[in-house]
Each structure stands twice: as structure tokens, then as C-alpha cells.
A and B are shown apart, each in its own frame.
Chain A
Amino acid sequence: MNVLEVKGLTKSFGGLVANSNIDMSVEKNSITAVIGPNGAGKTTFFNMITGVYKPTSGDILLGGEPIGGLKPHAVAKRGISRTFQNIRLFNEVTVLENVMVGMHNHLRGSLIGTLLQLPKSKREEEKAMKEAYRLLEYVGLSEFLNEKASNLSYGAQRRLEIARALATRPSILLLDEPAAGMNPKETKLLTDLIKDMCEKYDLTIILIEHDMKLVMEISKHIIVLDHGEKIAEGGPEDIRSNPKVIEAYLGKGAVSLG
């Protein structure tokens, strides 16, 4: 069953066409990778799915319902969450509260209840705290709960972004270069984490990544973008041997040489 369907998605900024006519269908509970050289339009593609950009044309269907052009918070409410290529944490806020922000849509937090300290509001807050802590334990950051997010190491910040995204209880999780800047050991841990959370939280994952080892290991389906166009798609094996892909990455003539 396809949980996410993208049809003819196009985005142009003035005369520059960043994404042109991209189709994609994503199966439930699968891991899909979007790869391509720098500037291929991968992040633009993500930004359209999550509502940061409004598509110029084309449709995005989540479980059959169109979500193209919705505001980011409305998209998040429908169960699509994401992490960012350049980490975007709430830096001056503690690690635990960063995760608690992710629960925004699952808390009532009524003003009256908050002001009057109703037991219901207190209980809700308590529950949110515990759930956030459990997510921190899951990504291995529970010991830093009271640290400011900006004090965490780079790899830890990436994991915190994942925990925060999980807190929104998404059905689809978009990871924008989750392994960027990580050393091989951290990448290995991350690979295991992605695989595990896909099962544990019943997620569909779409990721942008340059680390081909990671991509080939975990993705079931790969989409290759170049100059804003989809040039290939298929399983890891097909992509590895696809001449168009090799050309995009290594330049013309690379295929005949190899």
C-alpha cells in the first residue's frame, strides 16, 4: 500500500526550476532514499512535502488526501515529521524540553487548566515529561536531559533531532542527511537506529543521504535526482549499476572507463 504519493511535483524559483515533474510512491513501512549530487533539488523536494515551500504544480497525496500547499504545522499534524540538513534545534532550551516541544499536537494544554493548575493538566504534563524521557533513552541521550541543546556534540544533536521528530508521533519521517558530519562509528549506530525505529514506531522513512554505504544498506527503494529531475529509481542493486546515475555523480565518460 502506498502511504505517500507524489505526482508531477514541480517547483520553480523565478526562472530556476529546482524540481521538475517528480513522481514518487512510497510504500508503508519502507525506507526510501533520495540521492543525487549537490544542488540536485533534494532538500527542495523535502521542503515541498513538509509544507515549507508551496509546489508550483503537482500533487502530494498522504494516504490519498492532498497535502500540497498546506502550512508546515498542518502537515506535521497529519503525521509527517522531519529533521533538517543544517541542524535546527531549540538551542537555548533543555534537551528534554526540545523533545517535549515535539509533542505539541498531542497535548491539550488549555490556558484555563494551566492557570488553575487543574490535576488533569498536571497529569498531562507529567506524562509528556516521561514520554520525552523515554524517547531520549531510546536515542541514548537521557543523561543530558537538563543540558542546553547547543551544548551537545554534533552527532548527539542529530540524534536529538530524531527524538524530537519522533515525539510528534509521525507516520512518515523525513531525514535530511542524518549522517552528515558523523564518523563511521556514529554512522553505524545511526544506521541501526533508523532500522530499529522504522519497526518499533511503525514508521515510513524517507531520507536524503550522501553516505552511499548507509543508503545501500538500509533503503528498499532509491530515487536519484539530478538538476531537479528524477533520473532513476529502483532497488539498491539497480541504482548501483545504472549508467545514468554513475554519469550524474562522476561525469560523462565515467561509465565507459569503468
Chain B
Amino acid sequence: MMAKFIKTIQTSKVAQIILFFVYVLVTTTALSTSQKSVISFLLLLLSLLILYYMNLGNKLKWIIALLILGVILPLSASQGDSYQAYMEVATMVGIYVCMALGLNIVVGLAGLLDLGFVAFFAVGAYTYGIFASAQANNFMPFGSYPLSGKSFWIFIIIGLFVAALFGVLLGIPVLRVKGDYLAIVTLGFGEIIRIVFNNLDKPVNITNGAMGLASIRQPEIFGITLSQPNQFYYVVLLMFIIVIYAVTRMEHTKLGRSWKAVRENEIAAQAMGIPLVKTKLTAFAIGASFSGMMGVVFAAKQMFIDPTSFTYLESTTILVMVILGGMGSVPGVILGAAVVTILNLQVLTELTGWLSQVTTIPDALSPAKMQRLIFGALLIIMTLYRPQGLIPAKNKQFNAKKLKESTAEKQ
């Protein structure tokens, strides 16, 4: 009886859709009716993973996913008190997903281990932060600062290009080394950027040093100032769509193939006419540009940035997202980024809150403080039991029949 039921679900599209619909409905209702409903919020997000595994066309899946993300999730979360808290988490997930997708190009596709990826995030954040706060008055000979919130939209593009430029600048000296050595040099670069930002308050005050940049202007569109997480959520959602579109397009074209070729075998790739340095630099630049873009959003959302937001731990966290999800796998990396961010921002803090209510635990033992321990354990478990990640990378499957017909015609 049970087996037959499962079989029906596996084969019938209609059954799948109905079940999925019921699932979304139940989690949505739970989310909108109960006050504290972290679990239903997470279950609703889980529906996207279920959707990924459903036997539907790609276009339909995207439409449903965007419907859930764009309408159902914000709408049902808006009923409770913790609306903004949920949207804050969802926004951070979006930011990290985009960054992880950028790192995935460098590490997953081009096979270049980068341990200083957060540097590009910092570059993007500071690019906006300096000019959208009074900071730029300290060294700019012309213009008056802060720039208005309208400039945010242009700064997304500027942040993209500045980060890409830094990617190239880093790449030129660094790409002479490979493997472990590359990892060490990029780690160094990440730290250098942070320390430079930390000390660039003398002789000319550019970054305001360890004090950080405060009261960064919030974005403005059609006269509305974006200040709440639910507003930023839509900005991030839009960027997510752009990033994912770009990534999936690039992966299966000349550029994506040359990255994979370089990853698999440098000598053979060169013999096929692929210029090694240029290909690696493009990977660095494009990966960095995503990160820079998100840096701009981050600065605008936080309104305050300082060098401590861009430590080595951040780079590792993004790398963990990529490795956990599956190197080179776009759905995997999205899942990895979501899991790590939610674990970080929601599950661990909720757990800490709950534990402190039930029992009295010393502060040092609270789950929120054990972030590194948990990530470390997670990484060890993954490398031992599932090195290919949660959703392993899949190769594009070509339609053999169609290709066969096309060649038969020609002859």
C-alpha cells in the first residue's frame, strides 16, 4: 500500500504538484498564524529544495520558486512580529548565496583555491561606504559627500567593476603559483586588504581606520528610502536572479568550458589553445565582481562597516558554503550558502535562546559561540563521507538523438 503510494508520487506529476502545494500551504499557514515560527519559516524555505527534486520542467520550477520567494514567503512572514527578523535572515542568505556563487566560479569551476575571497566583498562595501558617507570629504578635492541614496544603484555597477579590477590586480602576480601555494597567497591578500583598510586613516584619512564608516546612506528609489530588511530583501532577490542567470549562462559556454579545462588539466588546456593566465584572470575577476556587488548591498544595508566585518573567518565561511554544497554545482552552492547562513544566524542563536530559558548554561558553552567548532566538524564529516557535496555537480547532458539526426542530414 505504502510502496504503491510512493510509486504514484514518483511517476505522477500531478500528484507531485498537489502534494507540493499542500506542503507550501501548510507551512505558509503555520508561518502566518503562529507567533514564534522559526521552524515553519525553515520548512517553507525547504520547499524550494523539494521543488528542485521534483519532476517538472525547468521554467515551471523557476516560476514557482520565484513565486514562493517573491510573494508567498514575505507575505506569510509579514503576519507575525518577527517579520523583519525573518527578512533579515533571508536577505543575508541572498547576499551569501551570491558571494558563494562567485567563489564557486573561482574554486569550483576554475579549480583555484581562494582563501581570501572576502577581500572583494570588503572592496565593494568600502567603495560604496566611503562615498555614501561623509568620509569622502576627507580626501576628495571636489564634490560634496555623502552622495544621495540614489547613487546606490550606480554603485552596484561600480562595486562590480572595482572588485573585478582588484581580482585582476591580485591575479596577475598570484596566478604564477598553483594549488596550496595559491591558497596561501590569496589568504595573505585577504588579510592585507583588511589590514590596509584598518590603517588607511593616516596620512590621508580614506577608510577611517578601525573606527569604521558610519551613517552610510540608505538606497533610494522613486523617492522611497530603503531602510527595512523586507525592502532590502527584494533588492537582494533581484541581484540573486541576475547572478544566477549569469552563472548558469556562463557555465555551459566557451568560457565555462575553458575554466573546467584549466581545472582538469592545465597542460592539455593550453595545448587546445586556451590561454592560461587570461582564463584564470577572468575567473578571478568575474568571481570577485559578484562579491563586490554584494559588498555594496551589505554596506547599504548595515549602514556601518568596519574592518572586523571582513576577517579571515568570513572567507572560510564562504568556502565552507561552496564545499558543503558541492564544488562546481550551482544548486549545491545555493543550498550550502543557505544552510550555513541559516545555521549561523538563526538556528544557533535560537538554540542558544532556548537553552538559556530551559537551563542555565555558561556563556562560553552556548551554541552561538561554537560556530567554528560546528563548521569544522561539518567540513570533516563532508570530506570523509560526501566529498562531492550535498548536491554534486552534474555535467550537462546533450541530446544524443537530436545530434545524431543533425549529422545524418548533412551526409
Contact = CB atoms under 8 A, between A and B. Distances in A.
A71 B250 CA distance: 26
A72 B267 contact: yes
Contacts of B269: 90, 101
Interface in B243-291: 245-246, 249-250, 253-255, 257-258, 260-261, 264-265, 267-276
Interface residues of A, number: 49
Interface stretch (A12-20, A30-38, A81-89): A81-89
Nearest to B286: A111
B360 interface: no
A109 B254 contact: yes
A202 to B, nearest CB: 19
Interface in B371-404: 393, 395-398, 400, 403-404
A101 B261 contact: yes
Given A94-B398, A134-B407, A121 B272 contact: no
Contacts of A77: 273
B254 A104 contact: yes
A111 B255 contact: yes
B406 interface: yes
A10 B272 CA distance: 25
Contacts of B396: 94, 97
A117 interface: yes
Given A96-B398, A148-B395, A72 B270 contact: yes
A246 B271 CA distance: 34
A114 B271 CA distance: 24
B8 to A, nearest CB: 30
A74 to B, nearest CB: 8
A245 B254 CA distance: 46
B29 to A, nearest CB: 39
A71 B270 contact: yes
Contact of A145 (B246, B253, B272, B398): B398
Contacts of B270: 51-52, 71-73, 76
A142 B404 contact: yes
A160 B404 CA distance: 18
B271 A82 contact: yes
B399 to A, nearest CB: 9
Contact of A168 (B265, B267, B272): B272
Contacts of A165: 271
How large, as a class, is the contact surface on chain B? 20 to 34
A92 interface: yes
Contact of A101 (B246, B258, B275, B276): B258
B403 A73 contact: no
Contacts of A104: 254, 257-258, 272-274
Please indicate which of the listed interface residues B255, B273, B398, B407 has the most CB atoms of chain A within 10 Å of its own CB: B273
A43 B250 CA distance: 36
Given A93-B261, A109-B255, A101 B274 contact: yes
Given A111-B255, A121-B253, A88 B268 contact: yes
A216 B246 CA distance: 53
Interface in A1-45: none
Contacts of B250: 111, 114-115
Contacts of B276: 73
Interface stretch (A125-133, A236-244, A249-257): A125-133
A117 B249 CA distance: 8
A73 B400 CA distance: 31
Nearest to A102: B272
A133 B267 CA distance: 24
A87 to B, nearest CB: 9
B261 A90 contact: yes
B254 to A, nearest CB: 3
A94 B257 CA distance: 11
A92 B245 CA distance: 23
A109 B253 contact: yes
Given A89-B265, A142-B400, 9 more contacts: A76-B272, A92-B264, A93-B257, A93-B261, A96-B398, A101-B257, A109-B255, A111-B250, A137-B407
7 contacts: A52-B270, A73-B276, A88-B268, A91-B264, A92-B393, A121-B253, A146-B397
Interface of B: 245-246, 249-250, 253-255, 257-258, 260-261, 264-265, 267-276, 393, 395-398, 400, 403-404, 406-407, 410
* Nearest 10 A/B pairs, CB to CB: A109-B254, A76-B273, A90-B264, A72-B270, A88-B268, A105-B273, A133-B403, A73-B275, A101-B261, A94-B395
